[in-house]
Structures are given as structure tokens and as C-alpha cells.
Amino acid sequence: MTDQPAILQVNDISLTFGGVKALQGVSFAVNSGELFSIIGPNGAGKTSMLNCISGRYHPQVGEIRFRGEEITRLKPNQRCNLGLGRTFQNLALFNHMTVLDNILVGRHHLMKNNVLTGGLYWLTGARREELEHRRQVEEIIDFLEIAHIRKAQAGTLSYGLRKRVELARAVALKPELILLDEPMAGMNHEEKEDMARYIIDLNEEWGMTVVMIEHDMGVVMDLSHRVMVLDFGKRIALGLPEEILADDLVRKAYLGEEDEALTESDSEGAVEIAR
């Protein structure tokens, strides 16, 4: 993936909350078509970095570029319009709405008809537009295998299914780059296998660049093209999964010195997906 152009460039980002330094001079690039993971211990700054990329936080220092355009100060909805989507560590679904309607919300920024033209539903392109959006949503529903719950209220679903619906809504944005904040947190082994398969297919078949935070090291090492490690808001390692596994700083900061590091055998079998 290193021969592909960078779709995301993060340059010297620093973020503070009062006296707390959440991020300290972090720089990295994500190549187009890459599956890039960010790992690190709790409080390392992983979600803060995703929030800076998605626009929830604005760093005090540094810049972020998406497809060459600086987006550091843009609002989240403006970044969505450019092709940036994300899921959240804590579910952010509309629990009273159906699965179908939750996913349709993700298409909102792509809709061209407004209140005035929509009022002339049959005379303008509003009807055709709605049918096309529904067709694409149904394609996502089939892809994520949630057709059986399409009319269910999101709040009534199991945790694993709600995580899948949130992924569906992010995919509905048609992003070029999708940010996944712990997409497999709280899942059992079977649910993790399914989610890993969806993420790989989004990357390889749907052509989405993926930036993912995930605590399951087996998943990270099995899926990722490259991995970045944060610790206390600083980047301490960046490289191929096998390079990260062998890095002494990663062993000390992320896995603990008592571990002889996470060996390749440790990372195998956590989620077995045929790439």
C-alpha cells in the first residue's frame, strides 16, 4: 500500500485540555486504499486523534489534510461532504428510529432536493432521488446481513447488531475514508469474525480507506496494513504489523515489560479471516 498516494496527512498535531496534553506533536500519513490501525494503552490519545480527524476537536497546533485539502478547522458535516465518515466508541444511534431510517440518516447530506422541491414530489426528481437512496441503503443492508432487522427499532437490538447498524450508517455516507472507533469492542468471538470480514470487504471490495482503533491485538495484526502506536499522546511506533510486534517501546508501553512481547503466535487465531 505504500506506493499509493496519501489520502490523509496529519502534521504535528497537538491537543490540550487545560493542563492535560492529549496529543503531542503527532504526525502520520494514511495511504489511499490502506487499512491503518491506531493502538495504545487507555488514555494514549487514540480517540482524541480520531476526533481531530473527524472535526469534533480542533487541535491547538498542527494541520490535517484530506486529499491534499487542509481540513483542520472544518466542521464535521463539512468533512462528511468531502468523503469522511466515522463510527463511535459509544453507540450514537437514534434508538426510537428503525434500522432503515437510521441508515437513511447517513444519506442526508447526499440528498439534493430541499423542502420546496420535495413538496412537488411527483413533478420533480425528488421521487427518483428517494428511490435511488433507498436502493443504495438496501445494498448496504444486504452487505451487512441485517435485512431481518431492517424494520426493528434500533434501541431494541442486541449490542452486536447495533454496532453493525452504526457501521451501516457510516457506510451510507459513501466515504472515501472511514474512521472506526473500536468497532469490535464488547463483541463475542463470532461477532468479531463477522465484523472483521465486513471491514476487510469494505477496504478491498468497496475501495474504502480505513483508519481503525481497536484493542484486540489479534484483530489489529491480522487485518492491518500498517499500525501506529500512541502512548501518553505521543507516537512511539509506526510500521508494518510484524515490526510493531517486535518493537521494544511497544512491548514496554502497550504490553508491559513482563511480556516477552506479543509474538506472532499470540496474534494468530484471534480472528481468522481469509483475505
pLDDT of residue 219: 92
Is 187 in contact with 197 (CB distance < 8 Å)? no
pLDDT over 70 (residue 121): no
pLDDT of residue 115: 41
Which of the listed ranges 77-91, 115-129, 172-186, 195-209 does the model predict with the highest average pLDDT?
195-209
pLDDT of residue 215: 87
- CATH class of the domain defined by 1-83+175-275: alpha beta
Mind giving me the DSSP string for the chain? -TTSPEEEEEEEEEEEETTEEEEEEEEEEEETT-EEEEE-STTSSHHHHHHHHHTSS--SEEEEEETTEE-TT--HHHHHHHTEEE--SS----TTSBHHHHHHHTTGGG----HHHHHTTTTSTHHHHHHHHHHHHHHHHHHTT-GGGTTSBGGGS-HHHHHHHHHHHHHHT--SEEEEESTTTT--HHHHHHHHHHHHHHHHTS--EEEEE-S-HHHHHHH-SEEEEEETTEEEEEE-HHHHHT-HHHIIIII-TTS----HHHHTTSS----
Q: What is the dihedral of CA 46, 164, 225, 267, to 10 degrees?
A: 80
Cα gap 264→253, rounded to integer Å: 18
pTM for the model stands at 0.84
Considering only residues 74 and 217, tell me which one the structure prediction assigns the higher pLDDT. 74
Is 79 in contact with 50 (CB distance < 8 Å)? no
Considering only CA atoms, which of 140, 74, 154 is closest in space to residue 106?
A: 140
| pLDDT confidence tier of residue 255, bands split at 50, 70 and 90 | low
**Domains of the chain: which residue ranges?**
1-83+175-275, 93-174
Considering only CA atoms, which of 97, 215, 83, 218 is closest in space to residue 162?
A: 97
Sign, CA dihedral 224-229-235-241, equals negative
Q: Which residues contact 118 (CB under 8 A, 6 or more apart)?
A: 124, 126
Mean pLDDT of 203-216: 95
Mean pLDDT of 179-184: 93
List, for residues 49-75, the tens digit of each pLDDT value.
Answer: 999 999 999 999 999 999 999 999 999
